[in-house]
């Protein structure tokens, strides 16, 4: 999940605004509004993430954040005007804020004693290093071959599928 999270976030962060400007001739002001909206909504999500984790647990929080990312990524493939991006950008707070907070908590809960920091470092390396790097290197090439819309849709569908697999493999079982 960490790799897919990083790769998906990198695709959106690297290519969304290029797509919006190229396809819809969006203004710099609109892009600035989108970033501002994203950050304003991400702050309370990060602030309350501990409370959310305590209520629903890190596994469900990871799943919900990835399902939110799936909606966001696929949604970009259906917008017909640049302003519609503003409807999807608030989901960034959920996709990033909830996932990252939950992933750090989940990794800490499964790491062997004394290796929590190392496990969290490994998670960060996979998500923000390998996932981002792979997406940056291959993303432009794949977009050049297939176009931005199919790539956004495919990464969204992959996140949907893998979030369900993750849920199935990790959800608490009743005995």
pLDDT given at position 93 = 84
Helix (H/G/I), strand (E/B), else coil: 80:
coil
Helix (H/G/I), strand (E/B), else coil: 9:
helix
Tell whether pTM > 0.75.
yes
Whether 40 has a pLDDT exceeding 70, the answer reads yes
Whether 87 has a pLDDT exceeding 70, the answer reads yes
End-to-end CA distance of the chain: 26
Two tokens, residue 60:
């469900």
Backbone angles phi and psi of 79, in degrees to 5: -70, 145
Read off the pLDDT of residues 120-163 as tens digits, 9 standing for 90 and up: 999 999 999 999 999 989 988 999 999 999 999 999 999 999 99
What is the phi-psi region of residue 120: left when phi exceeds 0, alpha when psi lies from -120 to 50, beta otherwise?
Answer: alpha
Give the whole-angstrom CA distance, residue 62 versus residue 41.
Answer: 18
With CA atoms as reference, report the closest residue to 91 among 21, 41, 17: 41
């Amino acid at each position: 999940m960490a790799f897919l999270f990083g790769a998906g976030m990198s695709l959106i962060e690297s290519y969304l605004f290029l797509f919006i400007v190229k396809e819809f001739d969006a203004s710099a002001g609109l892009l600035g509004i989108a970033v501002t909206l994203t950050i304003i909504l991400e702050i309370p999500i990060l602030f309350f993430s501990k409370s959310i984790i305590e209520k629903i647990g890190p596994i469900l929080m990871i799943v919900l954040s990835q399902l939110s990312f799936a909606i966001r990524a696929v949604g970009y493939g259906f917008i017909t005007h640049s302003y519609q991006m503003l409807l999807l950008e608030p989901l960034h707070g959920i996709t990033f804020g909830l996932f990252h907070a939950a992933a750090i908590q989940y990794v800490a809960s499964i790491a062997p004693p004394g290796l929590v920091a190392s496990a969290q470092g490994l998670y960060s390396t996979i998500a923000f290093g390998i996932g981002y790097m792979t997406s940056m290197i291959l993303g432009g090439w794949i977009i050049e071959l297939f176009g931005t819309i199919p790539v956004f849709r495919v990464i969204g569908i992959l996140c949907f599928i893998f979030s369900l697999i993750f849920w199935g493999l990790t959800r608490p079982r009743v005995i």
